[in-house]
Amino acid sequence: MEDKLLPQMPRETGVLSHALRFVFMGCFNIIVAVFGLSTWFKADLFTVLGPYPSGWAGYDVRSLVGLLMFTIFFPPGIILVYVGITTVASFKSHMQSLALLTALGFVLIAVGSIGVVWGSETLKCFIILCPGTTEHNEAVYRPEAGVAFRSGLGLAFLFSLVPCGTLLLVKAGRRAFGDNAFNGTQSDRRSCWSSTISWTYLLSLTFIVFWFIISLYMPNSLESFLPMRIAKNAMIISSHNYTLCRTEPHRYTCPDFPWSWVYTRNLIWSDSLVLKLYPSNIFFYGYMLLLLTVAALARCYAIGRKFTKSRNRTFRGFTHGEMGFLFLTAAMLAMFFLYWVRGHNYKGRYNDISDNTILSEQWFRSFGQLSIAFLSLCILPVSRYSIMHLILGTSWESSIWAHKLFGYGVLTGTIGHIVGWFIRCGEVGSFPQCAFTVPVVESIVYRDDYTIPLITVISLIFLISMGVLSVEPLRRRCYELFYYPHITGFYVMTPVVLWHAAAAWEFFLPGLTLWLVDWMMRLYRRGSPVEVVSAVTCGSFVEICFRQASLRASPGQYVFVNVPDLSLLQWHPFSVKCEGKGYYTLYVKSMGENTWTEGLLSLVKERGWRFTINVEGPCGHIFKLDDYKNIIFVAGGIGITPCASLYSYIQDQAAVNPRGPTVKLLWSLRDAELLTMMSYLFCEIDAVENYITSAVEELPFESIELFFTGNDRVRCMPTSVVVVHERLDVSTRVPQLIRKEDVRDTLIFVCGPPTLVEVTRNIANSMGVSFHEEVFLL
């Protein structure tokens, strides 16, 4: 990953002073957010009991600015305080560290417990058990929108801050009692592969079915998440009798047009619970169930795993698994969008006596729903420890392409929604007032819809942070300028979308659940202490050996590393070599001046092993290597690290399982210092000078070939290592190693410069060989 930075932390200020600065900035953000929220709570939405006069809005410019302040400043404030205090705790004495972590944990739990007060009315029936309730009667005059907003915000506090606070208490407990009290024994994560996938699939299936059922009877608007409103919505029956829907709107609803190509059906459980099988919900959740079911079946068998990983001969840039995923996703999104455009009866505009449907409104609302679907899918690939990765056989870094693709879909849907809204405003002659006035004009929408001006402002921020700053040249050159606004934009945009868009929560549930669980796991894994055992440099390379008792990394996986002396926020991915008994080794190459890796090189030269690192992981694939008879590793430079880890593992397993795959390692490099660091790869046998310039096609399969292009001559290599003093010609050498009868049983694993990866990929695609590339370029 290109790691050009914004200005780094001045070394002389010290880590502690920088962490305290984070705490101060975080507290300032939280104070601004609390002030904004208190201003918002003074709006008429929360104070006026009704009846409401004509033209009543419920908010004004001042209160809306308060809500905007809370939305923008609160998420980064919590993050800055958390990072700052946990960093300070890591540098304090044992007792001071425990006190800081425990205090912060209890503070987060206390703040999250506000949700019990604000959401007490809804919590009395546990939210999802409100159907049939008669205990909580809806008042004749009450600011229902304000009550529901406060309740929803309180529940968000409860389900996000309380788990974070609890994790901090667990983190304190790990420091007090050691990791052994919280972690089991080491085990081989490759064992019981099919059993693991089966149990993971059943767990995923349970949650998806649960969320699907919830979405069929709960109100589509968060403003209706109050007991009586939930109970009333659960009793409503979907109908195609538009007279009933017009005359008895509290008992019947007509969500579909009579010309719709699909219709909403009812599953009547009782008089108080009617499950309405909305087509959009069936498309979305049916897609997830089908995707996970097919993937789980394929992953349980070697033939299925190999087929999904093999390249499609027509679309050689994709595997069969990726092609199936794209086809299934495109089909779901097409049916989803077509239903909203042609089938959904927005707000009951069509009935037996009138047709108030408006084509432009139908289209811009449908684009909004499409954007929601894309955004919900966009969350799924970026969860590092998602159970979906285990079922699908993917990983975080290999799924970034899907995240980007869905991101483009979000931008397309959002722009379509905005443009369509402007067109509709123009049709009634109220543009630009209807889009940029506070409160909004009355001719198109209700004036009390505060979410319209709110999401207008947030969308402009969103388009910049998610669109402009995500352009590849800018992202590669100034990664932090892309990353931090990108993450902050998501934290800000998500609650606003949930407030603004009807039914958004129904499609966000799976992604947000996985995202929250993923972050809980990441915070937990970051809490284990790391001991730096040794750190040395050799030229532009760094070797760091560390011990982390709780880390369960398998060969070929990687970890995210944070060095507080360099940055409190930056986490960089590096492959790890598993040494056993909780010991791991990192190999890092400096990428030049003003980079994080250059800072690490200077730090190790200056301090040796006397510095602190934080480690989060493991991430990446757990390979089923016995699915293949032959594995060819192609490495370029520092790209040797994941290849070497897997190569050594296979060689070690050969003594136990002689029927394991045969391996070949092709390594192209020009730095003799790196060769010295990776000397563990070479067996301890008679050392000889092995110097060859060409004609390597007759060499044995089970060996290492070094293609050295540096100025020095490589000497004293074991006889099993072939040194070629010329550039690796992948297009020639790789085909020489693969027999026609072994095509289906061969895997090519490559890690290195983009050019090397691209050439190797093309060779693998042309031969129909299974291919895996290990890259961290985002």
pLDDT per residue as tens digits for the range 273-296? 999 999 999 999 999 999 999 999
Instruction: Work out the average pLDDT over 322-335.
Output: 96
Question: What's the rounded mean pLDDT across residues 205-222?
Answer: 93
Q: For the segment 627-682, what is each residue's pLDDT rounded down to a tens digit?
A: 888 999 999 999 999 999 999 888 888 777 777 788 899 999 988 888 888 887 77
Q: Which DSSP category does 72 fall into? A: H
pLDDT at position 111, please?
A: 94
pLDDT > 70 fraction of the chain, expressed in percent and rounded: 89
Residue 3 above 50 pLDDT? no
pLDDT in tens, 700-745: 445 788 898 877 665 556 556 778 888 899 999 999 998 877 788 8
Tell me the pLDDT tens digit for each residue of 412-444: 999 999 999 889 888 888 888 777 888 876 555
Here the tokens at position 434 are 């209807």
Rounded Cα–Cα distance for residues 44 and 52 (Å):
10
Per-residue confidence (pLDDT) for residue 2, from 0 to 100: 42
Residue of 649, 658, 667, 663 lying closest to 717 (CA atoms): 667
- What's the chain's average pLDDT? 85
Higher pLDDT, 776 or 573: 573
Q: What is the pLDDT of residues 672-699, one digit of tens each?
A: 888 888 887 775 433 334 444 444 444 4
Provide DSSP, 578-635.
EEETTEEEEEEE--STTBHHHHHHHHHHHHTT-S--EEEEEES----GGG-SEEEEEE
255 three-class SS:
coil
CA distance linking residue 132 with residue 146, whole number of Å: 24
Q: How sure is the predictor about 7, in pLDDT bands with cuts at 50, 70 and 90?
A: very low
Name the residue with higher pLDDT: 477 or 377: 377
Using CA atoms, how far apart are residues 287 and 285, in angstroms rounded to an integer?
Answer: 5
* pLDDT, position 477: 81
User: What pLDDT, on a 0 to 100 scale, did the predictor assign at position 62?
Assistant: 94
Residue 372 confidence (pLDDT) above 50 = yes
Q: What is the DSSP letter of 440?
A: P
Residue 128 CA from chain centroid, whole number: 27
In angstroms, how far is CA 611 from the centroid of its own chain? 30
pLDDT at position 387, please?
A: 84
Q: Which residues of 136-155 are buried (b: 16+ CB within 10 A; e: fewer)?
A: beeeeeebbbbbbbbbbbbb
* CATH class for the region spanning 625-773: alpha beta
Band (pLDDT 50/70/90 cuts) for residue 178 is low
**Domain 531-619, CATH number (from 2.60.40.60, 2.40.30.10, 3.50.50.60, 1.10.1040.50):** 2.40.30.10
For helices 451-462 and 479-500, give the axis angle rounded to 10 degrees.
Answer: 160
Using DSSP bridges, classify how beta strands 558-562 and 572-580 pair: parallel, antiparallel or unpaired. antiparallel
Q: What's the CA gap between 721 and 682, in Å, rounded? A: 7
Confidence of residue 1 (pLDDT cuts 50, 70, 90): very low
Provide the 3-class DSSP secondary structure of residue 688: strand
Q: Does position 141 have pLDDT exceeding 60, yes or no?
A: no
Q: What is the pLDDT of residue 50?
A: 65
Q: What does the block give as tokens for 677? A: 């660091």
Token pair in block for residue 376: 């919900």
> What angle separates helix 320-342 from helix 302-309, to the nearest 10 degrees?
70
pLDDT on residue 54: 67
Burial class for 56, CB neighbours closer than 10 Å (0-12, 13-18, 19+): middle
pTM of the entire predicted model = 0.90
Rounded CA gap, 491 and 488, in Å?
5
The H-assigned helical ranges of 138-257 are 144-177, 193-215, 227-235, 242-247
Most confident of 132-136, 205-209, 618-622: 205-209
Listed residue (688, 733, 727) closest to 710, CA to CA: 727
pLDDT digits (tens, 9 = 90+) for 759-775: 999 898 888 888 888 87
